[in-house]
Amino acid sequence: MPTRGSVLRVGITELRRRPGTQRLVALRTAIPGLAVTSARVPDDAELAIDLTLESVEGTAITARGTVGVPWVADCRRCLDVVSGTMVVEVREVYEAHPRDGETYPIEVDEIDLEPVVRDAVLLNLPISPLCRSDCEGPVPHDLPVTLPGEPLEDEHGDAPPKDPRWAALDDLNFDPS
Ligand SMILES: [Zn+2]
């Protein structure tokens, strides 16, 4: 919910006075409510917003840069929690008379970065996250579970299904060498 006084509202009076000048904006703040069906940004997670604002011909402001954002999701196969961090590219334009769906509004003497950040994040959250690329989903209860350290192949050369809950352990290196 955009509010007056939000750190994401940036005054642009100086910027518009001198077309061609740039202003670096580096903000670290949480934006609650960033979620799609498949994934979400924790409400208290800090976003790393690094944008260059540039005044163009005194009539428009461009915002270019990146937004770094942590996300969490449920693996679409085994429903385990998956998390990660993504860096989203931002390239947007603010205008006094914005074109619907294309540019963002300049509000007299300031712009609100929140809708730009919000749109960029929502468009880039994972839509079908996997805990690992070869996740095979939950193991049926009647199949044996393979523990780390046990041979992965039986005498026929078939790899038995692995319990995805052990997947994280595969990344650990127990070998001291
Ligand atoms: Zn999974």
Which residue matches tokens 């970065």?
A: 113
Task: Kindly give the distance from the C-alpha atom of residue 171 to the centroid of ligand 1, in angstroms, as a whole number.
Answer: 15
Centre of ligand 1 from the C-alpha of residue 78, in Å: 4
Question: What does the pLDDT read at residue 170?
Answer: 63
Please give the C-alpha separations between residue 105 and each of 20, 23, 39, 94, 113, in angstroms, as whole numbers: 19, 18, 28, 5, 10
CA of 155 to the centre of ligand 1 (A): 27
Tens-place pLDDT, residues 107-116: 989 999 999 9
Distance 92 CA to ligand 1 centre (A): 35
CA of 113 to the centre of ligand 1 (A): 35
Q: How far is the CA of 2 from the centre of ligand 1 (A)?
A: 36
- Parse the chain into domains and list their residue ranges: 9-124, 139-177
Cβ neighbours, 10 Å, residue 69: 24
The model's pLDDT over 69-91, given as tens digits with 9 standing for 90+, comes to: 999 999 999 999 999 999 999 99
If pLDDT is split at 50, 70 and 90, which confidence band does 4 have?
Answer: very low
pLDDT for the residue numbered 142? 56
If one compares 18 and 174, the residue with the highest pLDDT of the two is: 18
Bridge partners (DSSP) listed for residue 51: 25, 65
Banded model confidence at residue 1, pLDDT cuts 50, 70, 90? very low
Q: Ligand 1 centroid to 76 CA: how many Å? A: 7
Compute the half-sphere exposure of residue 128: CA atoms within 13 Å on the CB side of its CA: 3
pLDDT in tens, 125-164: 999 999 999 999 887 765 555 556 655 555 555 555 566 6
CA of residue 60 to ligand 1 center, whole Å: 45
154 Cα: distance to centroid of ligand 1 (angstroms):
23
